[in-house]
Structure 1
Amino acid sequence: MIRSTTRRTATAALAVLGLGAALTAFTPFASAQSVADIKKKGEITIGMLVDFPPYGTTNVKNEPDGYDADVAKLLAKDLGVKANIVPVTGPNRIPFLLTNKVDVLVASLAITPERAKQVSFSQPYAAATIVLYGKTASNIKAPADMKGLRIGVARASTQDVAVTKAAPEGTEIRRFDDDASAMQALISGQVDAIGCSVTVAAQIAKRVPANTFENKFNLVQQAMGIALRPGTDELTKTVNDFVAKNTANGELNKLYQKWLGADLPKLN
């Protein structure tokens, strides 16, 4: 766990490019820059979170699964190649892409202006609502109520950005390596509330007695895009065509229904 004391220092978590280097040292390079490169290689290497159910998780065989995994496999099928799915974490997913260890990211990556300076995004293929989630008995109704509280987030995530932006001075933001660690911190009482997606909140609700926690208020709804390296214009266009086609024909909606039990939101 990495801790931060105030909102003033919280923005340090956005410096994601230097994180995760030790974890990537022995990862094979993907380096595909074009559709031709991918087809020549016969596979597309796709980075994906496996700790963000139902978007990213693992199955009984410990293989990547979830909405993102199905989208990744559908993209590979569309390209006529094999899907090589590589697990990544929130902090190291952009470094994996920028250092050529994956070709693209289908990794629940919310489209933000800051990230758009580092990577190219496809049109949105999914969305997530980020909430502040805490004890039902706690009197938290608005961002101002976070003052003096310990708020947990997954480091360098969308929820980190959202909480950092909303938290008043005097909020103690505690950063964890992933959603699973933040979730455990809430359940064990290390923090008073966490910023998380509604899907993570639903997972917590299944693990604790009824009415222990609740969504206190919405922080943001974020559209997610498939991320590519800057300068890969042809590949980006191909991925955009993939998203447009499979949105129009209902394939993405079928996958969204399968994993989230709801229709794919209208995404701009």
Structure 2
Amino acid sequence: MAFSITRRLVVAGAMLTAAVGLTAAGAHAQTVEEIKGKGKLTVGMLVDFPPFGITSADGKPDGYDADVAKLMAKHMGVPVDIVPVTGPNRIPYLLTGKVDVLVASLGITPERAKQVQFSDPYAAIEIGLLAPQGTAITKAEDLSGKSAGVARASTQDQSLTAAAPKDATIRRFDDDASAVQALLSGQVDALGVSNVVAQQIKQMAPQNNYEMKFVLRSQVQGIALRQNQDKLLAWTNGFLETVKKNGELNAIHQKWLGTDLPTAVTSGKS
């Protein structure tokens, strides 16, 4: 009897281990084949970072990142399951297998690369100078004798201050909203701003024909995977190369940011 009970416990333990192993394999899919095996691509995404991540009127994740995630799943041949994440929990969600990948506006940095593997860039936050189309500015030197607004102590303040000629006037405002209002009301000739805010300004005042005159700084974003997912990383980079070449990724960028893909995305490597 003791032998029988022991044997049953061993068998039950083996079955439990196998079941846990199967569950873990489903959660921690390492390859495209494993993702297809579980029947869907699970993607972590921010939903509070417009226009990259938003919640639609019907309560579903939407935005640039959502469209990229959907396109990725389409090319993989499976449905997509988008899981909302936050800035602090997005990497933990990936590392614990709650999601297969992150398409979550994650900037590629050396610090983060110690935790995750990054794909080639699929998007970028750009800091540049916005002005009406007719304003004769193509480079920082052209700000000579002109004025530009920035949010005080922001990245755009630091970047523009370093690049502008000495006889340019840089007007610093307490926040982005005040700086934007200064541009709209003609208090400044140009505005140091991110491409995200630039798109919002263009939508607010389309009659002014605002355009980015030049880029001061770029922060590229990558699709994040767990370490040692080499096969999935190779597939992801192949996918990005394809959709950059065939125009599908550019169409998403035009839809959400109103411009073509930045050079840092089309030519960049992580």
Q: Structure 1 residue 120 and structure 2 residue 117: aligned?
A: yes
Q: 1:247 aligned to 2:251?
A: no
Q: Structure 2 unaligned segments of length 5 or more: list them.
A: 1-25, 130-146, 160-174, 179-191, 205-211
**8 Å contact from structure 2 (residues 47, 54) kept in 1:** yes
**Alpha-carbon separation, structure 2, partners of 1:186 and 1:199:** 12
Aligned with 2:220 (options 198, 220, 223): 223
**Alignment partner, residue 85 of structure 1:** 82
| TM-score when normalising by structure 2 | 0.60
Aligned to 1:108: 105
Mapped partners of 1:219, 1:114: distance in 2: 23
- Counterpart contact for 2:195–2:257, Cα < 8 Å: no
Map 1:99-178 to 2 at 5 A.
Answer: 99-130=96-127, 146=153
Runs of 4+ in 1 over 4 A off after TM superposition: 139-143, 162-165, 185-188, 200-207
> Which of 9, 31, 41 pairs up with 1:34?
31
Flag the structure with larger Rg: 2
- For CA contacts below 8 A with separation 6 or more, give which structure has more relative contact order: 1
Separation in structure 2 between the aligned mates of residue 87 and residue 163 of structure 1, nearest angstrom: 32
Q: Which residue of 2 aligns with 1:45?
A: 42
In the superposition, the TM-score normalised over structure 1's length comes to 0.61
1:257 counterpart = 2:254: yes
How far residue 30 of structure 1 moved from its aligned partner, in angstroms, is 3.0
Residue correspondence of structure 1 range 71-82 to structure 2 within 5 A: 71-82=68-79
In structure 2, give the amino acid aligned to 1:30: A
Determine the C-alpha separation between the residues in 2 that align with 1:205 and 1:248.
Answer: 27
Structure 1: which amino acid aligns with 2:89?
N
Q: Aligned pair in 2 of structure 1 residues 235, 196: CA closer, same or farther (>3 Å)?
A: farther
2:120 touches 2:237 (CA, 8 Å); kept in 1? yes
Q: Which runs of 5+ in 1 are unaligned?
A: 1-28, 133-138, 152-158, 166-184, 189-194, 208-214
- CA shift for structure 1 position 98: 1.0
Root mean square deviation, CA, Å:
3.7
Deviations 1:85-110 (A, max 9, x none): 00111111111111111100011111
